[in-house]
């Protein structure tokens, strides 16, 4: 094998020193495997390796080849050997030279191999999928048996993931804070220390904000910040649940949380809700021994009710009497329309039994995915330990920027500024529905969040209603995924934070017309 003396391949990821093959990672980030065979000249081995890369799809039609110099230095081959390999591939139709672009993979492969390459890839993928299944853990098996349909999720682009549009979110302010924190002098060494609960000044800022805004009673040492909101429930479930343990869950309720608990081995016991939220009397009459109840008292997800004060007190009394805990998911409490916010359930807790969940994703939409927990005092140490195992390090810059965003008052100013914007959008949607869907649609009595719940009276199926709305550019989603049992027919979520106020009336009118047309077709059939 010919070598160009002494130059080490800086980008080589591995070199097999046995006499079977030599594998290198070239400047183009694809692996070249030079099979060793003393009877085959070096240029032919390189030619074969490059041809295989083309057939495997690692080098695609029109893609520029690495320079002769790069290949020579990386593979320890002489330049004449590389040139001869290129000439060999050109003669076979795999490479071509284009003026100004150098040597590239041919746009039309010899014998039109493009279709053959696609077939080979498809066959390879199929053969990989048909191999013997992995012996999954009990957790892995439960994941596969969960009812999650990849098309039936609640955070979907059709409804803008349930959040505001990016032009409303405080992107510009956030960008300035991030740029400020990117200055090396602003990054404090303490930010790099191992602190599983998160950056201490951020936890202090969150505790102060929650005390002002949600009447949460806590100190920074009870606040645990998580990189994603999903990880909060995973941490709590790991601490509290054994497979088969019962969890009281609102029916209907947030499906992603419900299925995460099922995957972890919980037995979900659905507790009915009414227009005001969870029915505590149903909890009191249940014979089950619950580990905790998962509730959304500020804005029931999805129906929108707000749990009254007397029912909140009854829920806390149930927890104290039964020994169960309460997970209060305060996911959507920032925005209220025409009603005063009630204090958080945690703020009323005198039994150290409420685990408070919060996040910033509804406000800093698609920018900050942090979630946080305010733990009961008796759970703080175990939670610290599980957080140490699950996520001991989190992004530094985002924590620093969020600390400033809260401490400088930008968080509360943004909520105050965006409140009337969402209120106008909500009113525009309700007015359009009342005007053009009167007699066939009922709007639930809710006064918070970023969506309304409607019930449509029609003989059309839910799928037909959704298709009609989509054709009219009206954002809508069935509440079916929220139900563990039988869903309510004709019940839908309608987010309003991203609607076009100038177009919503015309869109709803067209939606109504399309439904009438579909109903007539159904009658004729």
CA–CA separation, 44 vs 88, rounded Å? Answer: 8
Distance of CA 80 to the CA centre of its chain: 52
Domain residue limits, the chain: 1-131, 159-409, 413-524
- pTM of the entire structure? 0.78
* 3-class DSSP string for 17-86: CCCCEEEEECCCCCEEEEECCCCCCHHHHHHHHHHHHHHCCCCCCCCECCCHHHHHHHHCCCHHHHHHHH
What are the residue ranges in the chain where pLDDT is below 50? 1-21, 27, 150-151
Q: Do domains 1-131 and 413-524 have the same CATH topology?
A: no
**Helix (H/G/I), strand (E/B), else coil: 290:** strand
CATH 3.40.640.10 assigned to 159-409: yes
94 phi, psi to nearest 5 deg: -90, -30
CA–CA separation, 139 vs 35, rounded Å? Answer: 42
Smallest Cα–Cα separation from 477: which of 446, 454, 449, 502?
454
pLDDT for residue 35? 67
Smallest Cα–Cα separation from 384: which of 192, 200, 193, 195?
195
Q: Tens digit of pLDDT for each residue in 29-86? A: 566 767 666 678 888 988 888 888 888 778 888 888 888 888 888 888 899 999 999 9
pLDDT for residue 445? 79
Measured CA to CA in angstroms, residue 115 lies from 121, 126, 319 at distances of 10, 17, 64
pLDDT for residue 8? 33
Assigned token pair, 38: 């003393």
| Number of neighbours of residue 98 by Cβ within 10 angstroms | 11
The label of the residue with tokens 């009414």 reads 274
**Helix (H/G/I), strand (E/B), else coil: 232:** helix
CATH 1.10.260.40 assigned to 413-524: no
pLDDT for residue 189? 57
Element (H, E) at 323: none
* 3-class DSSP string for 100-112: CCEEEECCCCCCC
* CATH classification code of 1-131: 1.10.10.10
CB 257 within 8 A of CB 241: no
Cβ neighbourhood burial of 397 (10 Å; 0-12, 13-18, 19+): middle
End-to-end Cα distance, the chain: 77
Over the range 337-366, which residues count as b (16 or more CB within 10 Å of their CB) and which as e? Answer: eeeebbebbbbbbeeebbbbbbbbbbbbbe
Average pLDDT, the chain: 84
Q: Which residues, including other chains, have CB under 8 Å from residue 437's CB and lie 6 or more apart?
A: 456, 508, 511, 512
CA–CA separation, 325 vs 293, rounded Å? Answer: 7
DSSP state of 336: B
């Amino acid at each position: 094998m010919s070598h160009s003396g002494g130059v080490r391949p800086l980008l080589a990821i591995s070199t097999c020193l046995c006499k079977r093959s030599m594998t290198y990672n070239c400047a183009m980030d694809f692996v070249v495997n030079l099979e060793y065979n003393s009877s085959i000249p070096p240029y032919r081995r390189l030619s074969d390796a490059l041809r295989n890369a083309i057939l495997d799809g690692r080098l695609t039609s029109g893609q520029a080849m690495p320079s002769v110099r790069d290949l020579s230095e990386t593979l320890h081959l002489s330049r004449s050997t590389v040139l001869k390999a290129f000439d060999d591939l050109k003669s076979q139709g795999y490479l071509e030279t284009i003026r100004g672009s150098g040597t590239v993979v041919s746009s039309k492969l010899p014998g039109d191999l493009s279709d053959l390459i696609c077939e080979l890839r498809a066959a390879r993928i199929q053969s990989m999928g048909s191999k013997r299944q992995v012996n999954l853990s009990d957790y892995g098996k439960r994941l596969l048996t969960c009812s999650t349909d990849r098309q039936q999720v609640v955070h979907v682009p059709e409804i803008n993931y349930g959040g505001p549009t990016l032009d409303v979110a405080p992107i510009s302010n956030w960008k300035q804070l991030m740029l400020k924190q990117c200055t090396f002098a602003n990054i404090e060494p303490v930010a790099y220390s191992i602190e599983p609960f998160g950056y201490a000044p951020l936890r202090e800022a969150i505790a102060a904000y929650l005390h002002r805004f949600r009447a949460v009673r806590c100190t920074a040492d009870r606040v645990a910040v998580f990189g994603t909101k999903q990880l909060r429930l995973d941490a709590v479930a790991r601490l509290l649940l054994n497979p088969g343990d019962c969890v009281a869950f609102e029916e209907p309720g947030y499906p992603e949380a419900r299925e995460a608990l099922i995957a972890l081995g919980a037995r979900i016991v659905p507790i009915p809700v009414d227009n005001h939220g969870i029915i505590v009397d149903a909890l009191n009459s249940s014979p089950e021994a619950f580990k905790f109840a998962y509730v959304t008292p500020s804005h029931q997800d999805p129906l929108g009710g707000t749990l009254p004060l007397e029912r909140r007190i009854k829920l806390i009394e149930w927890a104290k009497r039964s020994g169960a805990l309460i997970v209060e998911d305060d996911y959507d409490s920032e925005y209220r329309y025409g009603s005063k916010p009630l204090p958080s359930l945690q703020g009323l807790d005198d039994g150290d039994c409420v685990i408070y969940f919060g996040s910033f994703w509804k406000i800093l939409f698609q920018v900050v995915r942090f979630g946080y927990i305010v733990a009961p005092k008796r759970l703080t140490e175990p939670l610290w330990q599980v957080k140490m195992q699950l996520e001991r390090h989190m992004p530094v810059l985002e924590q620093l920027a969020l600390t400033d965003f809260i401490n400088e008052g930008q968080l509360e100013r943004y909520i105050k500024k965006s409140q009337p914007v969402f209120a106008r959008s909500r009113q525009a949607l309700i007015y359009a529905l009342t005007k053009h869907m009167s007699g066939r649609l009922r709007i639930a009595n809710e006064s918070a969040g970023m969506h309304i719940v409607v019930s449509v009276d029609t003989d059309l199926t839910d799928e037909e209603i959704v298709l009609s709305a989509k054709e009219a550019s009206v954002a809508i989603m069935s509440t079916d995924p929220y139900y563990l049992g039988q869903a309510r027919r004709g019940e839908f979520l309608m987010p309003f934070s991203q609607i076009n106020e100038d177009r919503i009336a015309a869109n709803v009118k067209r939606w109504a017309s399309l439904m009438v047309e579909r109903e007539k077709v159904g009658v004729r059939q």
